[in-house]
Chain A
Amino acid sequence: MSSALNPKYSFATFVVGAANRLAVTAGHTVAESPGAAYNPLFIYSGSGLGKTHLLMAVGHAAKKAAPQLNIEYLTLDEYVEAFHASVAAGQGDAFRRRFQNVDVLLVDDVQFLTNRKEMQSELLRLTEALQAAGRQIVLTSDRPPPDIADLDERLISRLSGGLVVDMGTPDYETRVAILRRKAEERGARFEPGVLETVAQAEVGNVRELMGALNRLVAFQAVNDTSINAETVKQILGLTGEGAATATPGDGRAPAAKGGGGDEFGEFLADVTVTVGKAVEAWRARVGEAVLRWEGEGYRTHRLEALLQRDAPGAVDEAIAAFAEDVERLKALEAEVSDLDPAAAGQSVFRDPERLGEAEQAAAKVRDGAAPPPGPSAAFPLAAFAVGPSNQVAVSAARAALERPGKKYNPLVLVGKSGLGKTHLLNAIGLELARGKRAVVACLSTQAFIDELIAAIDGNRVDWWRARYRRATALLLDDIQLLTGKERTQEELFNLFNLLQDKDRQLVFTAPAHPNTLSGLEERIVSRLEGGLVAELKEPDREVKRAVLERMLGQQGVHPEPALIDYLADRPTDSVRSLVGLLQRVVGAAAAQDGPLSAGLAREVLEGHAPRDTRRSSGFRTSGLVVSSLGGIKSREKVVWDWIDVADRMIEEFR
């Protein structure tokens, strides 16, 4: 039913030129990874320019890359026939199933869909089914989809949805290359200049070119003489153009000597031979290299200098060395643009003569690319007190650490102030930073905003962005500070998407559930909600005990258990206020030079302690104030001056 792939039509036998390079590249890509890149791939060109050859070459290459693939080549007519046959046999469904199991479907000449409504809808259905299943379709036609008469709009958009490429008529060089290859295939030998002359004829397609070659092969076989450039013109009837103008009776030049003839044509042939000798092959190679690299935006002095030489010398080595340098430049530029986009695009990255400078510039950028702020070492995960009140958040954090970026992304830790969100955030950061090549950005939202402002001010937002884009994890504390910071929200939004796409862990903290925070853009909120929002609740007794024991332990103090019990039992709504309580007690003990005891604590906390002692306790650092919990950094968060009991009584009496 469907045709077999013609083994002659492979990429190896396909002559690539400027006019079909894009189509061939697309074909290669599709053959290497069917269904992944351009689907469907639609190739169109005039008749005889290699559509079928390319289509079959894709089939061969795909088969070679993955022999298990089910590859089917057929022309549209064959497809139609198969359809009609199966419908006639009452096997329409079988027909569909058959094609839906094809991994790479190659359909030739789809322009014949005109006036075949039922085939159009069949093909539409098939295209959709194959696309959905990630299977590749390659189609060819002699015109682009919109120009196929009477084609269903939906089918047009389907067919145009992948990649539509055309192949033009081959240029002179390609024509020569095709002729050489074909002549070689046939074992025909021609004098120098013969194939070039054939290639000079303006032909509409490769088939005509083959026709001309066939005539020459036949002529040479029959006459047993080798053909030269001049006789080619006679055989192929190429002399018409020049001869017509050289007819006598021109008026100005009545009788040209030497039988008139085509003086211009002879002149042209003469010049062609001379130019052919002059533009030696090595110069052409250098010229091509110049053209190529210049086209890519590289300076090509070194190659141009080669053209000034008389003898070829080691041209190919020089070209190879140049290409190597360009590759190095490309690598450097890619690296630099990763680190600091603003620094890429410098002219040194475009001039192989200045490779040394480029290396230096790259090294400079490498040095200057500071990693984003990392987590604070003061918050190890081991020091985080765990209890029923924060069990959910901690286990979520541990889960996130096990599979960063995959399990809970983003992880949003919510809870009131002083419950250890910052600690947990930094602890996660520290754990993540242990990974190989980990770049963990862990900072407060305020610092994030300040950095952005500084970057805007210093006109290096690109650099700032690149810095964060490199991060393998982003942890932001106090996300509510984004309120009203539109630009930061915008940047964060983009960064968020980018990092999340790459499965990089995102962790945020907020005082409350994101959807209750005002001033945050909806798109940010919805993204925050998209992961896991884990709440840290008011510390339970267990947590409090753990915190107290650890803190006192750090001081080298071993208090009576009653003190711990007493403090843990006191109602406190946060770890931070618990620390505050402890500090007051420790302060009082230091002031009295007495031991830490439950009794003292009760005295201090329940209002029997002398006022001055209490006051001083807040300011005098006993070594506890700058706690490893980091909670007391911001003094306004802690009430230092408690209202005197007497004042409080008066308040209440009022």
Chain B
Amino acid sequence: MSLVNFTTREITCKIVYYGPGRSGKTTNLHYIYGRVPDSRRGRMVSLATQTDRTLFFDFLPIDLGQISGFSTRFQLYTVPGQVYYNATRRLVLQGADGVVFVGDSQARQLDENLESLQNLQSNLLEHGVDIRTIPLVLQYNKQDLPRELILSPADLDDALNFRGVPSFSADALHGTGVFETLKGISELVLKKLAAGTAA
């Protein structure tokens, strides 16, 4: 997928929110959706079950308008977190320019986080992408929960962020850290473009 098209003067970034089930990926998108002016956002497509679990994926297109003469669009996707939707996850990952790994800060969810991270790695590999080269940021969500239930960002960094990518603590439900995460991943994606490898 061509990230920057110099001839049509378009920049299109596909960013995928990845992570274990119920970690708050869709919540991230909803918050962003609520902050983007009507004129700039497309319809948010959400395929959810009756209990609000993401069944297929969420899709939120955002039009950033003309930036440096390029019409810039972001496409935000989420994957279904549950283990048995792996085929969908792999499909959504295809052509991703960057990945936001949304981890669940609850201590008891640590294994799910690790499992999902490994799943991300293997799914990327299926597309021939090395997780070490794709722009990736971590988000430790649900940091608003009582301290005794969650791990601190430092602990999570130790447990999950063995590649030393940028990490953000967040409370997606109330919006804390959501845009910081998005900015973080955008910067990585666009910098990769600057390095010339994505053109």
Residues of A within 8 A of B (CB): 172-173, 196, 200, 241-242, 244-246, 250-257, 263-264, 266-268, 270-272, 274-280, 283-284, 286-287, 290-291, 294, 300, 304, 307-310
| The one of B35, B70, B171, B173 that contacts A275, using a Cβ cutoff of 8 Å | B70
Question: Are A278 and B6 CB-contacts (below 8 A) given A200-B65, A254-B174, A256-B175?
Answer: no
Is B196's CB within 8 Å of the partner chain A? Answer: yes
A270 near B66 with CB under 8 A, answer no
Instruction: Tell me which of B9, B68, B191 contacts A276 (CB under 8 A).
Output: B68
**A218 and B32 alpha carbons, distance in the complex (Å):** 37
Q: How far is the CA of A310 from the CA of B198 in the complex (A)?
A: 11
- Check if A310 sits within 8 Å of B196, measured CB to CB: yes
Q: Is the beta-carbon distance between A272 and B67 smaller than 8 angstroms?
A: yes
Q: Which B residue sits closest to A280, measured CB to CB? A: B194
Could you tell me the distance in whole angstroms from the C-beta of A292 to the nearest C-beta in chain B? Answer: 10
In the bound assembly, the distance between CA atoms of A270 and B183 in angstroms comes to: 7
* B interface residues, Cβ below 8 angstroms from A: 4, 6-7, 9, 11, 30-32, 34-40, 64-70, 72, 171, 173-179, 182-183, 186-187, 190-191, 193-196, 199
A276 to chain B, nearest CB (A): 5
A253/B174 in contact, CB under 8 A: yes
When C-beta atoms are compared, the residue in chain A nearest to B192 turns out to be A278
Judge whether A245 and B195 touch: CB under 8 Å: no
> A267–B174 Cα gap in the complex (Å)?
17
Chain A nearest CB from B70 CB (Å) reads: 6
Contact call A245/B199, Cβ cutoff below 8 A: no
- Structural contact, A250 and B67, CB atoms closer than 8 A: no
Chain A residues whose CB sits within 8 angstroms of the CB of B35 once the complex forms: 245-246, 253, 256, 263-264
Q: Is the CB of B66 within 8 A of A200?
A: yes
Find the B residue at minimum CB distance from A277: B194
* Contact status B68-A275, CB under 8 Å: yes
The answer to whether B179 touches A255, judged by C-beta atoms less than 8 angstroms apart, is: no
- Asked if B64 and A278 make an inter-chain contact with CB atoms under 8 angstroms apart, the answer reads no
Task: A360 to B35: give the CA distance in the assembly, Å.
Answer: 61
Tell me which of A257, A270, A276, A279 has the highest count of chain B C-beta atoms within 10 A of its own C-beta: A279
Name the contact of B6 in the complex, choosing from A196, A267, A270, A283 (C-beta under 8 A): A283
CB-based nearest A residue for B184:
A270
Contact for A307 among B6, B36, B37, B69, CB less than 8 A: B6
Do residues B196 and A279 form an inter-chain contact, with CB atoms below 8 A?
A: no
CB of B186 to closest CB in A, whole Å: 5
Q: Can you give 12 contacting A-B residue pairs, CB < 8 Å?
A: A172-B66, A241-B37, A245-B34, A263-B35, A264-B179, A270-B183, A271-B183, A272-B67, A279-B193, A284-B69, A291-B7, A308-B199
Q: Could you say which residues of chain A place their CB within 8 Å of the CB of B4?
A: 278-279
B199 near A274 (CB under 8 angstroms)? no
Could you tell me if B69 and A172 are in contact, using CB atoms closer than 8 angstroms?
A: yes
A308-B174 in contact given A267-B183, A270-B183, A271-B67 (Cβ < 8 Å): no
Q: A287: which of B7, B40, B66 is its contact (CB, 8 Å)?
A: B7
The answer to whether A287 touches B6, judged by C-beta atoms less than 8 angstroms apart, is yes
A257 & B174 in contact (Cβ 8 Å cutoff): yes
* A270 to B, closest residue via Cβ: B183
> B194 and A291: CB pair below 8 A?
no
Q: Which residues of A contact B36 (CB under 8 A)?
A: 245, 264
Given the contacts A241-B37, A283-B6, A294-B7, A270 and B186 also touching, CB distance less than 8 Å: yes
A274 touches B191 (CB 8 A): yes
Q: A267-B183, A268-B65 are in contact. List 7 more A-B contacts (CB 8 A).
A: A241-B37, A245-B34, A263-B35, A271-B190, A272-B68, A279-B4, A280-B194
Do A250 and B34 touch (CB < 8 A)?
A: yes
Q: Is the CB of B187 within 8 A of A270?
A: yes
Write the nearest CB–CB distance from A277 to chain B, whole angstroms. 6
With a CB–CB cut-off of 8 A, which chain B residues contact A310? 195-196
Contact A275 B37 (CB under 8 A): no
> Could you tell me if B34 and A275 are in contact, using CB atoms closer than 8 angstroms?
no
Interchain residue pairs A-B with the least CB separation, the first 9: A287-B6, A278-B194, A274-B190, A257-B176, A256-B175, A263-B179, A310-B196, A253-B175, A172-B66
Tell me the smallest distance from the CB of B63 to a CB of chain A, in Å: 11
**In the bound complex, how far is the Cα of B7 from the Cα of A307, in angstroms?**
11
In this complex, the member of A200, A242, A278, A284 whose beta carbon has the largest number of chain B beta carbons within 10 angstroms is A278
Nearest-Cβ distance from residue B134 to partner chain A, whole angstroms: 17
Q: What residues on B are CB-neighbors of A256 within 8 Å?
A: 35, 174-176
A300 to B173, CA, bound (A): 49
Docked CA distance A113–B178 (Å): 59
Which one of B6, B190, B199 has the highest number of Cβ atoms from chain A below 10 Å of its Cβ? B6
Q: Is the CB of A252 within 8 A of B31?
A: yes
Do A244 and B37 contact each other (CB < 8 Å), given the known contacts A267-B179, A286-B6? yes
Residues of B within 8 A of A264 (CB): 32, 35-37, 40, 179
Shortest Cβ distance from residue B176 to the other chain A in the assembled complex, whole angstroms: 4
Are the CB atoms of B7 and A275 closer together than 8 Å? no
CA distance A263 to B172 in the complex (A): 14
In angstroms, Cα B66 to Cα A628, docked, is 81
State A284–B32 Cα separation when bound (angstroms).
30
Contact call B179/A266, Cβ cutoff below 8 A: yes
Q: Which residues of A contact B6 (CB under 8 A)?
A: 283-284, 286-287, 290-291, 304, 307
Kindly state the separation between the CA atoms of A246 and B190 in the bound complex, as whole angstroms. 25
Residue of A nearest to B195 (CB): A310
In the assembled complex, the CB of B48 is this many whole angstroms from the nearest CB of chain A, namely 15
Q: Which residue of B lies closest to A295 (CB)?
A: B7
Taken together as a complex, chains A and B put the C-alpha atoms of A309 and B7 apart, in Å, by: 16
Inter-chain contact A271/B64, CB cutoff 8 Å: yes
Give Cα A459 to B187, complex, Å. 60
Shortest distance in angstroms between B69's beta carbon and chain A's nearest beta carbon?
Answer: 5
Contacts of A173 in B (CB 8 A): 69
Contact partners of A272 in chain B: CB under 8 A: 67-68
B70 contacts which chain A residues (CB < 8 A)? 275, 279
- CB closest residue in chain B, given A251: B34
Measured between beta carbons, the chain B residues less than 8 angstroms from A251 are 34
Contact A279 B68 (CB under 8 A): yes
B-chain residues with CB within 8 Å of residue A257 when the two chains form the complex = 171, 174-177
- Check B7 against A290 for contact (C-beta < 8 Å): yes
Q: In the complex, what residues of B have CB within 8 A of residue A252's CB? A: 30-31, 34
Instruction: Give chain B nearest CB distance to A344 CB in angstroms.
Output: 25
Which residue of chain B has the shortest Cβ distance to A257 in the bound complex? B176
Please, how many angstroms separate the alpha-carbon atoms of A196 and B175 in the complex? Answer: 29
Interfacial chain A residues near B37, Cβ < 8 Å:
241-242, 244-245, 264
Question: A276 vs B72: C-alpha distance in the bound complex, in angstroms?
Answer: 12
- Name the residue of chain B whose CB is nearest to the CB of A271: B186
